């Protein structure tokens, strides 16, 4: 049977009120009394009820993190770093995998509110969800514009798009295609496509934009990649994420297209997984650890002072290029 607060009080030889005061750090109590209560809690494996504490106006030290897909190595690495930073600040994470599903995201959002989390970090792709404006909790967004009141953290997507396009041009490519997510309203990752278009225009080249949705299955993306390779004479492809770039390498091999001599490819994200298992891929590296640190720091500040406003609403961190075999 799950131990109760009264069981802790009995074992520690104190009143239930004293146990409650120790748990909530309320009022003066001797070190000896605190130690007796903590020891009793440890022996009974007693865990304070976070929801009950929240109903008393206490913090739960819980943070909700909503992501589009845990399968994507970028989000997996980002979540791992967020969890690490939250734990350092004495917060626990409730992870919600929205899986590109608006209804799931809405249900998770309601669950987090019901569980009285202290704040939310969200990186979901369902931009039309209006509930975020009504949550009444500190929220920080990753790479998504949700509201004028919600701060955004992202890498410098425009800088990354410029670096990627120029890398292909400097490697000798003159027919450079963009392969990635279509334009979406208020989506900071649009800047990757915008930077490609601006750079291509400055270089006096023709643009080739071939869109694949971020949420599409690998099979659908593969079909789009095959279509691009068969229908267009291109010598360079800027992929807006590394997983799509890997599909290009895979399909190019099937079509007996020599990389990098006939086709050069660059991706975007640069996770540790990609760098370790696919070291041949050139990519734009996002500072994932720094992004996670900034997300958690901003959220922590908002939790400490709910009416806090920041001088800027969009925090952009610089990227770097990792040059490997696919663009040599």
Q: Is residue 57 part of a domain?
A: no
- Same domain? 146 vs 256: no
Higher pLDDT, 183 or 80: 80
pLDDT reading at 234 higher than 90: yes
Strands 264-269 and 208-211, sheet pairing: unpaired
Q: Is residue 30 part of a domain?
A: yes
Angle ∠(297,135,71) on CA atoms, nearest 5: 65
Residues 32 and 140 grouped into a single domain: no
| 109 and 32 belong to one structural domain | no
Tokens of 142: 């990753």
Within this chain, do residues 80 and 201 fall inside the same structural domain, yes or no?
A: no
Q: What is the per-residue pLDDT for 161?
A: 97
Same domain, 68 and 81: yes
Residue 29 domain-assigned (yes or no): yes
- Residues 237-276 have pLDDT tens digits of 999 999 999 999 999 999 999 999 999 999 999 999 999 9
Between CA 77 and CA 72 the distance in angstroms is 9
For position 55, what pLDDT does the model report? 47
Find the distance separating the first CA and the last CA of the chain, reported in whole Å.
65
Element (DSSP H or E) covering residue 76: helix 73-88
The per-residue pLDDT of the chain, averaged, comes to 90
- What residues contact 81, with CB distance under 8 A and at least 6 apart? 288, 289, 291, 292, 293
Q: Is residue 280 part of a domain?
A: yes
Beta bridge partners of 63: 93, 119
In a domain, 55, yes or no: no
For residue 56, tell me if it sits in a domain: no
User: Domain range holding 245?
Assistant: 157-286+321-327
Q: Is the same domain home to 82 and 31?
A: no
* pLDDT at res. 132: 79
| DSSP annotation of 240 | S
What mean pLDDT comes out for the span 7-32?
86
pTM score above 0.75: yes
Q: Which residues contact 17 (CB under 8 A, 6 or more apart)?
A: none
Instruction: Find out whether 168 and 321 touch, Cβ atoms under 8 Å.
Output: no
Peptide bond into 260 cis (omega under 30): yes
CB 178 within 8 A of CB 210: yes
Range 289-307 average pLDDT: 94
Tell whether 282 and 167 lie within a shared domain: yes
Q: Which is more confident, 68 or 319?
A: 319
More confident call, 6 vs 187? 6
Give the least confident one: 73-87, 182-196, 278-292: 182-196
Residue 187's pLDDT band (cuts 50, 70, 90):
confident
Total domain count, the chain: 3
Q: What is the Cα–Cα distance from 321 to 319, expressed in whole angstroms?
A: 7
| pLDDT band at 147; cut points 50, 70, 90 | confident
Give the confidence band of 294 by pLDDT, cuts at 50, 70, 90.
very high
Provide the CATH number for the domain around residue 24: 1.10.260.40
CATH number reported for the structural domain that contains residue 98 in this entry: 3.40.50.2300
Q: Is residue 305 part of a domain?
A: yes
Residue 188 contacts residue 143 (beta carbons within 8 Å): yes
């Amino acid at each position: 049977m799950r131990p109760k607060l009264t069981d802790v009080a009995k074992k520690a030889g104190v009143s239930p009120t004293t146990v409650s005061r120790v748990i909530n750090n309320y009022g003066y109590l001797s070190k000896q009394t605190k130690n007796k209560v903590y020891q009793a809690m440890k022996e009974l494996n007693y865990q304070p009820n976070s929801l009950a504490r929240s109903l008393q106006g206490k913090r739960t030290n819980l943070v909700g993190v909503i992501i589009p897909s845990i399968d994507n190595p970028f989000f997996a690495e980002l979540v791992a770093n967020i969890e690490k930073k939250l734990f350092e600040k004495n917060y626990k994470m409730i992870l919600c995998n929205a899986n590109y599903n608006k209804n799931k995201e809405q249900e998770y959002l309601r669950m987090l509110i019901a569980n009285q989390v202290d704040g939310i970090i969200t990186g979901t792709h369902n931009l039309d969800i209006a509930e975020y404006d009504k949550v009444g909790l500190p929220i920080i967004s990753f790479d998504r514009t949700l509201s004028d009141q919600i701060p955004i953290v992202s890498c410098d997507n425009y800088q990354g798009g410029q670096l990627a396009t120029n890398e292909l041009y400097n490697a000798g490519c003159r027919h450079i295609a963009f392969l990635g997510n279509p334009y979406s309203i208020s989506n900071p990752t649009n800047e990757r496509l915008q930077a490609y278009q601006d750079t291509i225009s400055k270089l006096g080249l023709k643009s080739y934009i071939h869109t694949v949705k971020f949420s599409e299955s690998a099979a659908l993306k593969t079909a789009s990649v095959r279509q691009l390779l068969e229908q267009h004479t291109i010598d360079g492809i800027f992929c807006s994420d590394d997983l799509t770039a890997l599909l290009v390498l895979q399909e190019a091999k099937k079509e007996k297209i020599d990389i990098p001599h006939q086709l050069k490819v660059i991706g975007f994200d640069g996770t540790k997984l990609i760098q370790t298992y696919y070291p041949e891929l050139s990519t734009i590296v996002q500072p994932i650890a720094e992004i996670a640190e900034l997300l958690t720091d901003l959220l922590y500040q908002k939790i400490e002072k709910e009416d806090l406003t920041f001088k800027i609403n969009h925090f952009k961190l610089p990227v770097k290029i990792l040059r490997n075999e696919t663009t040599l």
